[in-house]
Amino acid sequence: MVGKGLRALAARGLFDGESLVPVGPAEVDFPGALVAVQRHFPDVVLVDLTGIESLEAIDDVMVGRPVPVLALHPGALSGQDAFQAMALGALDVVERPAVPGADFWAHIARKLVLLAQVKAVRQTRSVTRAPKEELPPPPFPLVAIAASLGGPKAVAQVLRKIPRDFPAPIAYCQHISEGFTEGLAHWLTMETALGVTEAEHGMVMVPGTVYIAPSGSHLLVRPEGRLELDSGPALRGFRPSCDMLLTSAAETFGSSCVGVILTGMGRDGARGMKEIRERGGRTIAQDEGTSAVWGMPREAVLLGAAQEVLPLERIGPTLVQWVEAC
């Protein structure tokens, strides 16, 4: 994300090569920085230090959804602002010339690639500002499930062990071919005691019901248990994205959230499940022996996102036990 005066230059100079690929808009207004990071899940963020709003943007990101940040110092600000950016969590500050050329942007691109490999650390609030309105506590616990190849059969086995009066809704993201989620919802309704439906925008979740992300839309959960469908770009090749669902679940439900990653190829969902664990929620990854493909669960384990690694037959009973204890 860059200051308004640099948008065209940065978009042209940074993404000329193959080392950097934008996952969302190439430019974001500073007040919307945190929302953009939560929605697009970038590996690294570039901030142009053009005033107090840029510092507040760094603070918002590093408190709300930490990600490696590189700040550009235009030289018009005092050196104190550069150090303040690092105090707020920026990993590095680079002086930006008045008229940056191709060599400068190539240097910045290389630095961003390196910083993207660094683990960002969550910061405590540093910038003093008016207190924000406190969100009400979640109305119920939430279970969020991510799955890909082999997922429908695995999810059915998990849901069969969950009773009709389960005191939490279940949000479920499945990588599946376009148009198949409605049929999946109908099949799971016949296979389990729970209500199962394709999620709709604005729908309010109720306990004992499974909400499936429709093919072609990201599924997000919001305060008061409201669902949001996002038709924005695919995230790392997936729409719906498991990372986007699990991250929104972590941000909205915190310690009242249980995240589950089942069989599937790739790594989608591992970062989102790590976010659930870091915010005090509980997490489960399916074990290798019962997974059709131990890809997504393995990535969650390697990332330290899985509190428990369980065989498929134990996941449903564990969910019942954990949710009743919430």
Q: Each residue of 81-107: pLDDT tens digit?
A: 777 888 888 888 888 887 888 888 888
Using alpha carbons only, give the angle 289, 291, 293 rounded to the nearest 5 degrees: 120
58-67, 73-82, 302-311: least confident range: 73-82
User: Are residues 195 and 259 located together in one domain of the fold?
Assistant: yes
What three-state secondary structure class fits 249?
helix
Percent of the chain having pLDDT more than 70? Answer: 88
User: Are residues 103 and 174 located together in one domain of the fold?
Assistant: no
Identify the sign of the CA torsion 66, 70, 76, 77. positive
Residues 6+ apart with CB under 8 A from 292: 149, 150, 153, 154, 263
Helix and strand totals (H; E) in the chain: 11, 12
User: Are residues 293 and 203 located together in one domain of the fold?
Assistant: yes
Q: Which residues are catalytic?
A: 148, 175, 268
Residue 315 has pLDDT above 60, yes or no: yes
CB-CB neighbours of 43 under 10 Å: 18
Counted residue by residue, the chain has a size of 326
Residues 6+ apart with CB under 8 A from 51: 77
Q: What token pair was written down for 122? A: 């969550």
User: Are residues 260 and 172 located together in one domain of the fold?
Assistant: yes
Domain that holds residue 321: 142-325
6 band by pLDDT with thresholds 50, 70 and 90: very low
Q: What token pair was written down for 103? A: 């060599």
- pLDDT score, position 133: 58
Q: Identify the CATH number of the domain in which residue 91 sits.
A: 3.40.50.2300
Residue 285 has pLDDT above 80, yes or no: yes
Q: In whole angstroms, give the CA distance from residue 14 to residue 28.
A: 15
Give per-residue pLDDT as tens, 205-249: 999 999 999 999 999 999 889 999 998 888 888 999 999 999 999
Q: What token pair was written down for 35? A: 């929302």
- Across 68-77, 113-122, 287-296, the highest mean pLDDT is recorded for 287-296
User: Are residues 107 and 164 located together in one domain of the fold?
Assistant: no
Give per-residue pLDDT as tens, 154-183: 999 999 999 999 999 999 999 998 889 999
Q: In whole angstroms, give the CA distance from residue 326 to residue 209.
A: 18
Tell me what percent of the chain is helix, strand and coil, each rounded to the nearest 5.
Answer: 40, 20, 45
Is the pTM higher than 0.85? The answer reads no
**Is residue 30 situated within a structural domain?**
yes
What three-state secondary structure class fits 117?
coil
CB-CB neighbours of 224 under 10 Å: 12
Structural domain count, the chain: 2
In the β-sheet with 69-73, what is the strand arrangement from edge to edge? 45-48, 69-73, 92-95
Q: Identify the CATH number of the domain in which residue 193 sits.
A: 3.40.50.180
**Is residue 268 situated within a structural domain?**
yes
- Is the Cβ–Cβ distance between 95 and 75 less than 8 Å? yes
**Is residue 120 situated within a structural domain?**
no
188 band by pLDDT with thresholds 50, 70 and 90: very high
- pLDDT score, position 96: 83
